[in-house]
Structure formats: structure tokens, C-alpha cells
Structure 1
Amino acid sequence: MAKPSIVLVHGAWADASSWNAVAPALQDQGFAVLAPPNPLRGVASDAAYLASFVAQRVSGPAVLVGHSYGGVVISNVPAEDARALVYVNAFIPEEGETVFQILGGSGSAFDIPDPTTVFDIAGYPGAPEGDAEAFLKPDTVHRYFGQDLPEASRWLTVIGQRPITLSANASPSGAAAWKTLPSWAVVGTDDLVIPAATQRSMAKRAGSTITEVAASHLSMVSQPQTTIDTILAAAASL
């Protein structure tokens, strides 16, 4: 049986380079690896883009891997477009849930009364009324987002971050693909963005096979082997 393709979906404030420590090891194992751009504009449109990408760029079975908000996106791709889901420090939403709802009361560094203490908010051309983009303040990256990365890597994250719209974080998730697909979850126990307890709760609800790693929200950068091993386990199960 042909090996599945591995599709790596980045989250907010990131791009495909967030998978640079993971992708080569998967390629060395003979997998076709793709890391498409995630538009970060809205759940429905981002999922539609990923589904279109998979339909046109992937032949055969696919394992979809999502980090952070990327977990919302892969959860909203029609189940027939994938064979397995892997969540890395990710949101695993139930239908109707939003990112803001999941983080509410979680103890997240982002669940605070004044979001402008951790985000820089900026308008963007063509934005619907009331919408804007959120950028991470440099201090947010250093203290909460990737606190276990070397300082130089944290500054690269600050410099190259891709913003997410506020509306994407407030958009309700659609039908959950994890209800019909097997899933795996990497839980970063030192994650200050999506606290470990919240990750575990979502993963248990989805029936995911859970692996924990002592790492920040960017565990696939700071401790990539755990993510690599989890993806390989998902692929081997097909």
C-alpha cells in the first residue's frame, strides 16, 4: 500500500517554516510532505482552501497535521479528504465552538481583559466592518508563545509572523472531521497559549491518542521528535 502524503498546516502567527524541523525527517522516511499556506482569514474559507489544496495537490491518502489554529482548519476539512488527523498543541473544536470560547476561562495568556496587552491590532484592506488583524507583541512571543526557543529563533518568529483576523478566532467551527477519523494529539505541557489541561480535554473528547512533551506552544520547533514520532505513528496505522 502506498504511503500517505503528510500535509502540515501551520497556525496563527506562523507560516510553513514552522515545520522546518519536522518535514525533512518525514521526507527521509519516504513520505511526500506538503506544507501549504494557511490564509488565517476565517474558519470556513481557510478550510475550503485546504480542501482545495489537498484535492489538487495530493494523490492518494493523506494525513492532515495541524498546529494551534491549524487544528481548527483540519477539523473542518471534509473527512473524505483525509485518512487521519494529527493535532500539535492544537485546538480540536466541537461543532459550533470558537477559538475564543475554548480559551475562555482556560488560564491562557491570551484570555485576558485587555487583548492589546499581548496583541497589536491593525486594520487590513477589504476587512468586514469591525474586523482587524492581530499581531503578537515581541514580549508575547518571548514570554508566552515560544519561551523555550533560543532568543534568535524567538526574534525570527516576531519578525516573520503572519497575523490572524479577529473574525477567524470568533468563527464557529463546522462539522468535526475527528468524529469519523482517527486522531493523534501532541500536548505541550508548558504551553501558555493553549494550556495543557485544555489540550488534554479536547483530545480526550476526540478520542485522540495523546502524547505529552515538556515544551511550549511551539513544541514542533523546540522538541520536533515528538511530533515526528506521532505523525509516523498515525501514518503507520493506515
Structure 2
Amino acid sequence: MPLPTIVLVHGAWADNASWNPVITSLRERGYTVLGAPNLLRGAVWDSTYVGAFLAQHTSGPVVLAGHSYGGAVISGAALKGGDVRALVYVDAFIPEVGEAIVDILPGSGSALAVPDPTSVLDIVAYPGAPEGDVDTYLKRETVDNSFAQDLSEDVRDLVYTTQRPLALAANTTPLDAVAWKSLPSWALIGTEDRIIPPATQRRMAERANATIVETPAGHVSMLAAADVVAGVIAAAAESVDVEDAPVVA
């Protein structure tokens, strides 16, 4: 029986290597897996870019999974390219239309929802930035204490050392349409997440009518509980009827 293609979208301060253990697990189950580049510039632009990736790099049904900020990106990208049949949110934002990340975290208890962002982030200028925009990096203590606190010291060091910057504008850009309103969704919630607290994830997942799975992991469940994450993605894939895919001449 043919299987859908699985496309993974990484989150902020990361790249596709953050999915490596999950990719290995899914490939062992027989799935074709691709990692889509996430530019980390803003939800509208990033979702458009991923939509173009889907249109040009996939054929047939797709299961689209996103981690953290990548959840906002897949919510838009699924409407912009490819034959996306299901969404999987991993420790992720699941925004409503018109809702930016900056609207979600205040009052949640997130380690990032602090009066002074420079206490948890390093903020730097980047060439060609729109007026007022900057790049943000996680401070080492933020990685160690909040972002990846359940991982080994060596892995935490790699997370810190290899991080890619998230533009501040990415937190303030809302989407004008979201795919979870029309596609079945799954949500993996790390119950030890200190970046998007579990209660906040659960509220968004319930709003999206997502199938919820919880695991005792922090914000990077893909590294802390790769087999659980792969299992949730595989469950979404198993729900897809590949036989009804349109035939492309």
C-alpha cells in the first residue's frame, strides 16, 4: 500500500537536524521523509516559502509536521502548495487567524514571556533588516534551563551552538488563513515544556479539534522522545487515504 510523504518543518533557533532521530524512526517504518527549510523571518513569508517547497518537491498526499514556531508556519503552508492531508503539531503554536505568537505567550508562564527579553535572548542587528526588526538567539542559560533542560549537557551544547536566529518580526506576524480549520490535526504536547507551557498547547490543540498525545518531555520532544513523536506522525499518516489522490497526467 502506498504511503503519504511526510514533510517536517523545524522551529525557531533550529534547523532540520533537530528532526534527525524522528526522520530515522519514520524511515524505518517505510515513509519517505523530507525536511522543508524554514527561513525564520515571519509566519506569512515562511509559510509561503514552505508552500512553494511542497508544490515543487512533493507529489501525492502529504502529512505536514511542525515544531514550535513551525506550527504557525505549517498552518499557513498547507494552504499554499502540495496535497496536504493532515497536520501534526509538535510542542507547537497553533495560531488562530489574525493571532501572532506575541499574542499567545503573555500570561502563560512561558520562560520567554518576561518583561525584559534580553534576559533570555541575545538580540542583534542583521543586514537589510526592516526598520525595527532584529535577530534573536537563545542565551545559553535559556537553552540549559528552559528550552532543552531534559537533554544531556552535550546535546544542550549542540542546541546552543548550532542555533539559527529567529527574526523578531516572526513573533508579531499573524496569518490570514489557517489550515487546521479544514484539515485533521494531531498535537504532541511535552508536559515539561517551559517555552510553550502544556496548558497553552492544550488550549490551542483543543481549539483546533486536534488528536492530543502527551509525553513527559520538554520543548524539544523530537530529541527527547523521538519514537513518541514519530508514532504520532505515523498515526496521522495512517489516517490518510492515499488511494483517492488525484492522478496527475
Which interval holds the TM-score relative to the shorter structure?
A: over 0.9
Q: Which residue of 2 aligns with 1:205?
A: 207
In structure 2, what residue type is equivalent to 1:2?
Answer: P
Q: Which residue of 2 aligns with 1:122?
A: 124
Q: Distance in 2 between matches of 1:174 and 1:75?
A: 10
Q: Tell me the C-alpha RMSD between the 2 structures.
A: 0.9
**Runs of 4 or more above 2 Å deviation:** 78-81
In structure 2, what residue type is equivalent to 1:197?
Answer: A
Gap change, CA 1:65 and 1:59, over 3 Å in 2: same
2:98 to 91, 96, 99: 96
Q: Distance in 2 between matches of 1:103 and 1:222?
A: 23
| Secondary structure in structure 2 of the residue aligned to 1:6 | strand
Residues 67-78 of structure 1 aligned to structure 2 (within 5 Å): 67-78=67-78
In structure 2, what residue type is equivalent to 1:181?
Answer: L
Q: Distance in 2 between matches of 1:232 and 1:131?
A: 38
Q: For each residue in 1:185-221, what CA deviation from the matched residue of structure 2 results, as whole angstroms up to 9, or x when unmatched?
A: 0001100000000000000000000000010000110
Q: Distance in 2 between matches of 1:201 and 1:151?
A: 32
**1:168 aligned to 2:188?**
no
Q: Distance in 1 between matches of 2:24 and 2:228?
A: 14
Q: Which residue of 1 aligns with 2:245?
A: none
Q: Distance in 1 between matches of 2:148 and 2:178?
A: 28
Q: Distance in 1 between matches of 2:195 and 2:229?
A: 18
**1:159 aligned to 2:161?**
yes
TM-score normalised over the length of structure 1: 0.98
TM-score normalised over the length of structure 2: 0.94
Q: Which residue of 1 aligns with 2:6?
A: 6
Q: Which residue of 2 aligns with 1:106?
A: 108
Residues 1-238 of structure 1 aligned to structure 2 (within 5 Å): 2-79=2-79, 81=82, 82-238=84-240
| Secondary structure in structure 2 of the residue aligned to 1:126 | coil
Question: Matched residues, percent identical?
Answer: 55
| Secondary structure in structure 2 of the residue aligned to 1:101 | helix
Q: Distance in 1 between matches of 2:35 and 2:78?
A: 18
Q: Distance in 2 between matches of 1:31 and 1:174?
A: 32
Q: Distance in 2 between matches of 1:25 and 1:78?
A: 24
